[in-house]
Amino acid sequence: MTAEILDYDDALAAYDPVLGLEVHVELNTASKMFCGCSTEFGAEPNTQTCPVCLGLPGSLPVVNGKAVESAMRIGLALGCDIASWCRFARKNYFYPDMTKDFQTSQYDEPIAYNGSVTLDVDGQSYEIAIERAHMEEDAGKLLHVGGATGRIHGAEYSLLDYNRAGVPLIEIVTKPIRGTGARAPEVAKAYVSFLRDMLRALGVSDVRMEQGSLRCDANVSLMPKGTVELGTRTETKNVNSLRSVERSLRYEIRRQAAVLSAGGRVIQETRHWHEDGGYTSPGRSKEQAEDYRYFPEPDLVPIAPSREWVEQLRSSLPELPAVRAKRLQSEWGFTDREFGDVVAGSAIDVIAATVAAGATPAAARKWWLTELARRANETDLELSELPITPAQVAAVQKLVEAGTINDKLARQVIDGVLAGEGEPDEVVRARGLGVVSDAGELEAAIDKAIAADPDAAQKVRDGKVQAAGALIGAVMRDMRGRADAGAVRRLLLQRLS
Ligand SMILES: [Zn+2]
């Protein structure tokens, strides 16, 4: 099943990849694009339908104004121009999940066009030109039963659920992305991640890749190094995680390089990504736009948003994630490298919340990127899903700063909070974790350590202060870490002076 592939470095030594990314976003409007049916995810099949979204004869669509507004906000956030007049078009094709035999989409008159976004990938900046963002409707969902892979091939029968038919979609299409070289797969992943964060900040979609509310089709072609003519591209469909965006492109670059370097031709087609096996397989040969016989949708009036509306939407856009990230880095005083770690660890939001709860940025960063990142990793959770809140992390740090606990004990406090034992101060009390500051108790432990190691004690008396380390270690062990090492040192040196 898997094709011949070339080593990635060899592929990149001979060819330059050119990317094209098409991202479909399901909007989170309460009702569908052209009717009043609910868009709620996960309902009983075929309970959210009506004559319009079932495409029954004589039914007439009406545009969802909220969806148009969301489309314009997305366009503005992508730096696009907003059309002053545009129409829907019928994209004609037969598929069982599309009862009308056409999808209502936009063709040569998209609502938003000519945008651009700037991505930062490991300190390098990439400009991604946006060709268009247009409105359309989602299709129904086919469930193939009986096959091993859930695909139609080998299935005994198929079930249809039209709840999704007519859910508003925005398709965001880039212009060809050149010049990314070996980093093409990473740049693609960063772009989809950027879109996800941006769409979330706009509040226009749930952006859940695993539920299909954000879907990426990844186009790639290869140009022999030193040439300028675009090669034949393939389109890998419905790659449903950020990691798959990167992996599928990496695979497809290696596969196409193997085809080309063996003197073959890449076939223009859609391909399917197989997450488990880590490879793509051929789908259908790719239609050209003319195959769809697009024509303007006669049942819908054109969309002509006033310039006042556009400007009002522009001025009410929220602070977008890229801008916010720049602002926070400067406020927190992090170097590019420090902030890069925060971004890579998906820790911006939790750190921001911890700082808001009173911790210093450095302390918040330390806890989330070390101890808590490790716990998240062990339990396969996002940082924000860990059963500890930013406010609790800030409280742990306050206990450290107050001298109630040290860093080592703080880890045990975090253990307790994660285990559901309550707030940090409750965990400190219940587990008896407070640092012992009672001088009497410390002095008793110091006396014990001196008695156990008289040689070391004599060395300290003779002025060899570094010999105190062994004694301090013994005291800390004796107190099971519940002592402040600085205080132990001070008391010990006093005792032996
Ligand atoms: Zn409906």
Contacts from 300-303 at CB under 8 Å and sequence distance 24+? 300/34, 300/61, 300/62, 300/63, 300/87, 300/88, 300/104, 301/63, 302/85, 302/86, 302/87, 303/63, 303/68, 303/83, 303/85, 303/86, 303/87, 303/88, 303/111
Mean pLDDT of 124-140: 96
Asked whether 224 and 260 are in contact (CB, 8 A), the reply is yes
Contact 109, 83 (CB under 8 A): yes
Query: Encoding tokens for residue 233?
Result: 């591209």
CA of residue 483 to ligand 1 center, whole Å:
67
Hey, where are the domains in the chain? 8-314, 319-431, 439-496
pLDDT tens per residue, range 174-186: 999 999 999 999 9
Instruction: Dig out the tokens for 265 from the structure.
Output: 């031709």
Task: Report CA(86)–ligand 1 centroid distance (Å).
Answer: 23
- Strand positions, DSSP E, 42-156: 81-82, 89-92, 102-105, 112-121, 124-137, 141-145
96 C-alpha to center of ligand 1: Å? 17
56: which 2 tokens? Answer: 């029954």
Quote the ligand 1 centre to 166 CA distance (angstroms).
Answer: 7
Tell me what the mean pLDDT of segment 332-350 comes to.
91
Q: Return the SS3 of 235.
A: strand
Mean pLDDT value across residues 65-80: 98
- Helix boundaries (H) for 348-461: 348-356, 361-369, 371-379, 390-401, 407-418, 424-431, 439-452, 454-461
Span from the CA of 135 to the centroid of ligand 1 (angstroms): 17
User: Could you give the percent of the chain with pLDDT greater than 70?
Assistant: 98
DSSP 252-308: HHHHHHHHHHTT-----EEEEEETTTTEEEEEEEPPPGGGG--EE-TTSPPB---HH
> What's the pLDDT band for 2 if we cut at 50, 70, 90?
low
Tell how far the Cα of 98 is from the centroid of ligand 1, in angstroms: 13
Residue-level pLDDT at 318? 94
Give residue 425 CA to ligand 1 midpoint distance, Å: 54
Instruction: Kindly report the average pLDDT of the chain as a whole number.
Output: 92
In the reported structure, the alpha carbon of residue 293 is separated from the centroid of ligand 1 by a whole-number distance in angstroms of: 25
**How are the residues of the chain apportioned to helix, strand and coil, as percentages rounded to the nearest 5?**
45, 20, 35
What's the 34 CA to ligand 1 centre distance in angstroms? 7
Percent share of the chain, pLDDT over 90: 67
Mean pLDDT across 477-484: 79
Asked if the model's pLDDT at residue 232 lies above 90, the reply is yes
Kindly give the distance from the C-alpha atom of residue 36 to the centroid of ligand 1, in angstroms, as a whole number: 6
Neighbours of ion ligand 1 (CB under 5 A): 35, 37, 50, 52-53
Q: Which tokens belong to 373?
A: 């990142």
Cα of 206 vs centre of ligand 1, distance in Å, is 21
pTM of the full structure: 0.78
pLDDT > 80? residue 289: no
pLDDT at 286: 66
Main-chain dihedrals φ then ψ at residue 83, nearest 5 degrees: -60, 140
- What would the pLDDT profile of 429-449 be if each residue is shown by its tens digit? 888 887 776 778 788 888 888
| Those residues with Cβ within 8 angstroms of residue 188's Cβ, 6 or more apart along the chain or in another chain | 19, 21, 177, 218, 245, 246, 249
Q: Which of 355, 373, 356 is nearest to 364 (CA)?
A: 355
In which band, very low, low, confident or very high, does the pLDDT at 287 lie, cut at 50, 70 and 90?
Answer: low
Diameter over CA atoms, the chain: 102
The region of weakest confidence among 149-158, 214-223, 381-390 is 149-158
- Please list, in sequence order, all residues whose beta carbon lies within 8 angstroms of the beta carbon of residue 304, skipping any fewer than 6 positions away: 84, 85, 86
Whose CA is closest to 223, among 9, 13, 7, 16?
A: 16
Q: Which residue has the higher pLDDT, 152 or 294?
A: 294
Give me the pLDDT at residue 1, please: 46
Residues 427/417, Cβ–Cβ less than 8 Å: yes
Q: How confident is the model at residue 480 (pLDDT cuts 50, 70, 90)?
A: confident
What class, spelled out in words, does domain 439-496 have in CATH?
Answer: mainly alpha
Question: pLDDT tens digit string along 250-285?
Answer: 999 999 999 999 999 999 999 999 988 899 999 877
169 C-alpha to center of ligand 1: Å? 15
Residue 488 banded pLDDT, cuts 50, 70, 90? confident
The per-residue pLDDT for 74 is 98
When pLDDT is averaged across residues 400-421 and rounded to a whole number, the result is 91
Mean pLDDT of 59-68: 96
Report whether 240 contacts 250 (CB < 8 A).
Answer: no
Q: Which residues lie closer than 8 Å to 358 by C-beta, 6 or more apart? A: 394, 398
Position 41 pLDDT exceeds 60: yes
